[in-house]
Amino acid sequence: MDLALAFHHAVRDDQDQAAATIARLRENNRGGDFAYYSAIAAFTADLPLEEPSPARWTDGAQHTPGRWRGLVTARHDALRTSL
């Protein structure tokens, strides 16, 4: 649920709330099966990672942040044009 909440904060461009949610994700998933969730949340909010992600990204770590951020940008643009 926190991952979806982080996406929501990223779309609303609420950096403080996104950072708080990312910190909670990081703490709740430290060393666990879903440790990469905090990296995804940071990518969506365009925030730096505190530590390298443990994930092995399908198309490499170089392209992954931009792809996740692209989802936020697309959603933000869609909301703006629907008003």
Report the distance separating Cα 40 and Cα 43, nearest Å.
5
Of the candidates 80, 83, 30, 24, the residue with the CA atom closest to the CA atom of residue 53: 30
pLDDT computed for residue 64 by the predictor: 94
pTM beyond cutoff 0.85: yes
Give the separation between CA 70 and CA 83, rounded to whole angstroms.
20
Residue ranges per structural domain of the chain = 2-82
Tell me what the pLDDT averaged over the chain comes to.
Answer: 92
Res 72: pLDDT: 96
pLDDT value at 31 more than 80:
no
Model confidence band, residue 25 (pLDDT cutoffs 50, 70, 90): very high
Per-residue pLDDT reduced to its tens digit, 51-72: 888 888 998 889 999 999 999 9
